[in-house]
Amino acid sequence: MRALLQRVSHASVTVDGTVIGRTGPGLLVLVCAMQGDTESQADQLAAKIAKTRIFTDEAGKMNLSVRDVDGGALVVSQFTLAADTSRGNRPGFSAAAPPDEGKRLYEYFARRLAEAGVPTETGEFGADMKVDLRNDGPVTIWMEV
């Protein structure tokens, strides 16, 4: 699985004019299940994200996790993280998991992140979503397991 983490002051996702998920200070997590991914990869990614120390401590060092700062997460499905740009000008997305499997793993990942102690809200898999966020830092981290 692949994820792009953005440390945010706040973030929200809107579908058809209605906010369906939001977080205050914490993380916006864009996530993509890849072909062949299993629940094991989702477990590893959720555990890693919950423990990743990208929030600043009293000394100004990135030394705290989202759990340490009582932050939340907004998890948004993003199959375009599977983009292959190695040929031509149009990205290919064939490395992404098929939609049914991608949705299952996305929802599983979000549950596992919540079970790891991170209050979690989500977008809507496959929907045309509008994501609003205020980057904090900015801090953006790419993860793959």
Point out the catalytic residue in the list 14, 41, 52, 78. Answer: 78
Point out the catalytic residue in the list 79, 109, 120, 122. Answer: 79
Distance of alpha carbon 51 from alpha carbon 139, whole angstroms: 16
Annotation says 122 is catalytic: no
Distance of alpha carbon 105 from alpha carbon 1, whole angstroms: 9
What number of other Cβ atoms are within 10 A of residue 18's Cβ? 7
Point out the catalytic residue in the list 35, 80, 93, 140. Answer: 80
**Cβ burial, residue 87 (10 Å; 0-12/13-18/19+):** exposed
Annotation says 79 is catalytic: yes
Q: Which residues form the catalytic set? A: 78-80
